[in-house]
Structure 1
Amino acid sequence: MKYICKHIFTRILNVEVDFASKVEEFVAFNGPKLSYTKLPLGKEFFIRSNDLLFEQGVNDLDISVQKWDDVPCFFNAGAKSVIPYDIFAASFYLISRYEEYLPHVKDVHERFTAEQSLAFKFRFLDKPVIDIWAFKLREKLQEKFPDYVFPDRECTYTSTIDIDNAYAYKYKSFVRSSGGFINDFIKFQLGSFWDRFAVLTNIKKDPNNTFEKLLSLSEEYKMETIFFFLVGDYTTFDTNVSASKRKFRLLIKHIVDYVQVGLHPSYFTMKDSKMLKKEKERLESITNIPTSKSRQHFLRFSLPETYQNLIDLEIYEDYSMGYASDVGFRASTCTPFYFYDLDFEIQTPLKIYPFALMDTTLNDYLGLTPKQSLGRIRDIQNEVKAVNGSFITLFHNESLSGYKRWKGWQRVYETMLKTANS
């Protein structure tokens, strides 16, 4: 109860809130007050409570999604409640990722998919409904307490960049480069064969080397930017330049002089805490800065195990909360929140920064053109701006290259920054 109230009142509405469990204490308080129970005590602002926040464990709940005005909502609160739905229980269900603890079918990468979520099934994945509900609650509270002044919060934007492949062709081992040439030749990919040769002989610049462009855009638009570097060992799914390569290490050192840098834990770290620890220490040995930010490669995480491992390693900010297959708000909020561990029934120190969209989702999964993608981006931006939330995006250095499948995408990122900045 305290956890979700802090999110709605303190983090979304910028209002300090205190709690009273004794009736006498509640009655004696003269300021704005709200009761959350089965029956009202008097004529106070009353919300009838659902049982969810007073239970322990995870149960298969029967949820009926309806409309509060034009916004989807659930957990009907009945006629006596000032607002028609228990938004505290509904918000907790969504933000704790309660449904991801229930039995579900995972995709090929062992991920909970957007299509299985309540938000996708009832078509509110593209809306930060928890923030919207909070602002609707604020309207009702202002009617009840007209003298109380609610402070506003500012809309923020954070650009995050994943470095899965710092370079398309450069600084790979002899074996990998030779294999690349042979593969291009066998598949008659003569364009790739020539590009690989031209880059390796310094005739051309490596197409993935878009780092100076990214840094200049960050500076031009005064945008908070975070780079997440993959420094894991080579696997089928982790194909970045080796972290032992001097040029790659110098690149990371260069980037950390200008923007924040976080860890991009490799594919198999989802369930391997030792591997996660090794990669964290590897990045710290390069940057000489403690690593506190992280985003899982392939967005592979398992609740609550992966997050428990991050906490054990003193990583306190995670940026993995989003879907690969669709844009929108996986936790139904555009406000950073603390992870609530349903196994131990505690709020943890791990702060979750939910991202709203990813470049590969728009291009690869949804098959949108750059122009169509800008339309979707603007729609999501407008949803965040309407509640003065935090707009967080995920792009890759490759998507600014204009190379191969990213042809025509160079301006998408810059246009997004421009509209966010306005």
Structure 2
Amino acid sequence: MLLVYTHKISPRLKYVFKHICTRVLGIKVEFTTKIEEFIAHDSLKMSYTKQHLGNEFFIKSNDILFEQGLSDIEINVQKWENTKCFFFNGDKSAIPFDIFAASFYILSRYEEYLPQRKDEYGRFLATESLAYNHGFLQQPVVDIWAYKFKAAIQKQFPDFKFPKREYRIKPIIDVPSPYNYKLKGVMRSLGGTLKDFFRFRFKSLYNRYAVLFGFKHDPFDTFKYIINKQKQSKFKFLVFFFVGSYSTFDKGININKRKYVSLIKHVADYCEVGLKASYFSVKDVVLLKKEKRQMEDVINTSLKASRFSFSKLSLPESYRNLVQLEINEDYTMGYIDYIGFRAGSCTPFLFYDLDYEVQTPLKVCPFHLMDSVLLKTTSMLDKKKVLNTIIEEIKRVNGEFVPIFHNYTFSNTARWNGFKELFNNILASTNEEA
């Protein structure tokens, strides 16, 4: 156990120390404000305050962990060996930066509460982030800092044995619509027919009716492939199905169709299944509750995980609604147009509500790559290179890689040529030595 002496035990301090020490490094942490108790402790210990007590392992504290609410914080990002950090704390500290304050700033998504420019869908832009603007978006800095802290404290306590964690993967399959042509209903099929005709998309028109009359396989129906891949992997896939209403943004299948319900049940026999919450449920807890109930009626168990449509988040409301509805995990934290670490981490963390200054039970599981981002690179060689780079970053800290693919990614459409191979590379990455 690590004992931390500090002048004040705040909710922020407990939150971030438990993430770094327990979730990343695997050790228990306790806190004290009593010097006698600190001196008497005969195992791992450190002080986290303004002045060191003596020759103990000491990290000079930044004020952010003892504040409440938001304030205008000056962030000065500096190079630190193979990475970058901020909240420099001088030479007397065991490490040159207050990694706990910096980690709190990034994990709490402090910057997303501040005024910022958003995209057309109201999403926080990667280009607005501290990580993007200072060139560390593609590093899991919170985990890297945690390992630097581990190395420094290990020097002071060489006999202490830290547990070792292993690199792992959590493949996500996002299903906005399970079929391209099937189960769409007469009106939508007719609308699609007219659109294909007037846009001279005669191949699509032919494919539509070949599928509808049973002569061809629906291109989006790749679930047999997904299930076969799941059978070969020791890591559970998480498949998000959409059950909400048809809208301008969401074009899913009506959940009242028996064949769709059967599909979800079939996939749930092999993979974990979550809710792909609709675009309008991001801020509407009543709608989200309805969709949650619909999904639970299908899978006959309580819903464990969710992911918002369009990867849209509205902090803190979206996460508060999930907490209220007792949904335990969310997989929306990430960028659709950039590869990297929106929350600076490849370790799931609990949502900290900055308005209420409280740690919530909601586990935020950030994703690090969406399949469509790889379309920016032209050759398969470049795609593999980009993919391997992010995998190596995560392997260095034995973290969890969360990539998002879609059911249509595994289709035979020319656009997605080679993506099955990329998915196989991800599955195979756990078989190699880190």
TM range (shorter): over 0.9
Equivalent residue for 2:71, pick from 59, 73, 76: 59
Instruction: Give how far 1:394 is off.
Output: 0.7
Q: Within the alignment, does 1:114 sit opposite 2:126 as a pair? A: yes
Equivalent residue for 2:253, pick from 235, 241, 258: 241
Instruction: Give how far 1:355 is off.
Output: 1.1
Q: Within the alignment, does 1:345 sit opposite 2:351 as a pair? A: no
Corresponding residue number in structure 1 for 2:382: 372
What percentage of aligned pairs have identical amino acids? 49
Corresponding residue number in structure 2 for 1:201: 213
Deviations 1:265-311 (A, max 9, x none): 01111111111011111111111111121011111111110000011
Q: Indicate conservation of the 8 Å contact 1:359/1:395, yes or no.
A: yes
In structure 1, what is the Cα distance between the partners aligned to 2:62 and 2:187?
61
In structure 2, what is the Cα distance between the partners aligned to 1:194 and 1:288?
39
Instruction: Give how far 1:156 is off.
Output: 1.4
Q: Within the alignment, does 1:386 sit opposite 2:400 as a pair? A: no
Q: Indicate conservation of the 8 Å contact 1:164/1:230, yes or no.
A: yes
Q: Indicate conservation of the 8 Å contact 1:400/1:413, yes or no.
A: no
Instruction: Give how far 1:371 is off.
Output: 3.4
Q: Which segments of 5 or more consecutive residues in structure 2 lack a partner in the other structure?
A: 1-12
Q: Indicate conservation of the 8 Å contact 1:402/1:408, yes or no.
A: no
Q: Within the alignment, does 1:213 sit opposite 2:232 as a pair? A: no
Equivalent residue for 1:38, pick from 41, 44, 50: 50
Corresponding residue number in structure 1 for 2:428: 418
Q: Indicate conservation of the 8 Å contact 2:277/2:306, yes or no.
A: yes
Equivalent residue for 2:301, pick from 285, 289, 292: 289
Q: Indicate conservation of the 8 Å contact 1:338/1:349, yes or no.
A: yes
Q: Which segments of 5 or more consecutive residues in structure 1 lack a partner in the other structure?
A: none
Partner secondary structure for residue 334 of structure 1? coil
In structure 2, what is the Cα distance between the partners aligned to 1:68 and 1:411?
36
**Pairs within 5 Å for 1:17-416:** 17-363=29-375, 366-416=376-426
In structure 1, what is the Cα distance between the partners aligned to 2:45 and 2:196?
69
In structure 1, what is the Cα distance between the partners aligned to 2:393 and 2:18?
22
CA RMSD after TM alignment:
1.2
Instruction: Give how far 1:216 is off.
Output: 0.6
Instruction: Give how far 1:217 is off.
Output: 0.7
Instruction: Give how far 1:417 is off.
Output: 1.5
In structure 2, what is the Cα distance between the partners aligned to 1:371 and 1:313?
44
2:93 is aligned with what amino acid?
S
In structure 2, what is the Cα distance between the partners aligned to 1:408 and 1:70?
33
In structure 1, what is the Cα distance between the partners aligned to 2:179 and 2:320?
32
1:110 is aligned with what amino acid?
G
Normalising by structure 2, report the TM-score: 0.95
Between 274-283 and 27-36, report the one with greater CA deviation: 27-36
In structure 1, what is the Cα distance between the partners aligned to 2:303 and 2:247?
23
Q: Indicate conservation of the 8 Å contact 1:113/1:325, yes or no.
A: no
Corresponding residue number in structure 1 for 2:17: 5
Q: Indicate conservation of the 8 Å contact 2:377/2:383, yes or no.
A: no
